[in-house]
Amino acid sequence: MNINLGIHSPVEQINDPLFNDKGIQVFIKRDDMIHPLISGNKWRKLKYILLQAQSQNKTHLVTFGGAYSNHLLATAAAAAKFGFNSTGVVRGEQVDNDVLLLCRLHGMKLIFTNRDSYRDKQALFNLHFGDDSNAFFIDEGGASAEGVQGVAELVNELPETYDHIFCACGTGTTAAGIINGLTRVKLDTRFNGIPVLKGGDFLRAEIDKYLNAPSNYDLHTAYHFGGYGKVTPVLINFIKQFVVSTGILIEPVYTGKMLFAIYDMATNNYFKPGSKILAIHTGGLIGLLGMRDKFV
């Protein structure tokens, strides 16, 4: 089985009077268009992980996530597409929702586990699959050196040079990949990460451990809106406005917070006139289905 997806991720300009006023240009790379379920950065992270599983003749992918995890869904869909079996170990008591339905439809078996035991993923893997020689461990979110390697390829696809690249950060794996990609082609594009969790400074260590060379980058830690998965009316209104005025669908857990940051920083004259800024749309749109009540 040839493990690959043709990458369709065009760069589009976002037109907004704010950006004209400030003399800047803002673009968005549509990694959400790579695949509807194997959402942008999750495919990039999975690519070399799946190739590694294949090279070790493993046929059963085992991974971990919360009940609305984009990574679980991406792994389920990728497993079905590339001929693997899959199991998702889900944090928390047994539930059902739209994301888990889609996981099951792609053949993923689900194991629910309490929050205490969830902390030690390797122990859970050994407990359930210790004697299954076909089973292959994939960490939560695809966090791994292979994940970083896959994301770095994004940089090769850029049609021009930007002054800034912005990306939402969860584990920081995607950030590390983009930074490594920029270093490799010797671009002095500034990387800007928007941690979606509270206290995002811890990400610096997570990112740095994957960097091929020391690199200067910025984490803007004030755009978490209360923490992971948390939203406020200001964020929700921004997202509605953005979707209506651009026709580009975004969600509140990741891309909404990242784009809010760009608009807010532009308003506050953070960018030099003439700057070109690229936002990465990392996908994850199915997660919107879990936030129905936030959009009333």
Q: Cβ closer to ligand PLP: 25 or 174? A: 174
Report the chain's terminal Cα–Cα distance, integer Å: 44
Q: Cβ closer to ligand PLP: 82 or 210? A: 210
Q: Cβ closer to ligand PLP: 42 or 47? A: 42
Residue 265 identity: M
Q: Is 284 left (phi over 0), alpha (psi -120 to 50) or beta?
A: left
Shortest distance, position 165 Cβ to ligand PLP, whole Å: 14
Shortest distance, position 144 Cβ to ligand PLP, whole Å: 10
CA Rg value for the chain = 19
Q: Cβ closer to ligand PLP: 86 or 195? A: 195
Q: SS3 letters for 213-259?
A: CCCCEEECCCCCCCCCCCCCHHHHHHHHHHHHHHCCCCCCCCHHHHH
Closest CA relative to residue 238, chosen from 269, 263, 219, 221: 263
Q: Let me know how long the chain is.
A: 296
Chain centroid to Cα 284, Å, comes to 7
DSSP H or E run through 74 = helix 70-82
Q: Cβ closer to ligand PLP: 66 or 124? A: 66
The token pair at 177 is: 């990949």
Q: Cβ closer to ligand PLP: 43 or 129? A: 43
Closest-approach residue to ligand PLP (CB): 284
Shortest distance, position 248 Cβ to ligand PLP, whole Å: 13
Contact between residue 181 and residue 153 where contact means Cβ atoms under 8 Å apart: yes
Shortest distance, position 20 Cβ to ligand PLP, whole Å: 28
Shortest distance, position 253 Cβ to ligand PLP, whole Å: 7
Shortest distance, position 109 Cβ to ligand PLP, whole Å: 22
Distance CA 216, CA 205 (A): 13
Q: Cβ closer to ligand PLP: 73 or 79? A: 73
Shortest distance, position 41 Cβ to ligand PLP, whole Å: 5
Please provide residue 278's backbone torsions phi and psi, each rounded to the nearest 5 degrees: -115, 125
Closest CA relative to residue 158, chosen from 294, 26, 28, 14: 28
- Which spans of this chain sit near ligand PLP (rule: CB under 6 A)? 39, 41-42, 70, 141, 168-175, 254-255, 282-284
The residue written with tokens 């669908």 in the block is 249
Shortest distance, position 174 Cβ to ligand PLP, whole Å: 3
Q: Cβ closer to ligand PLP: 24 or 203? A: 203
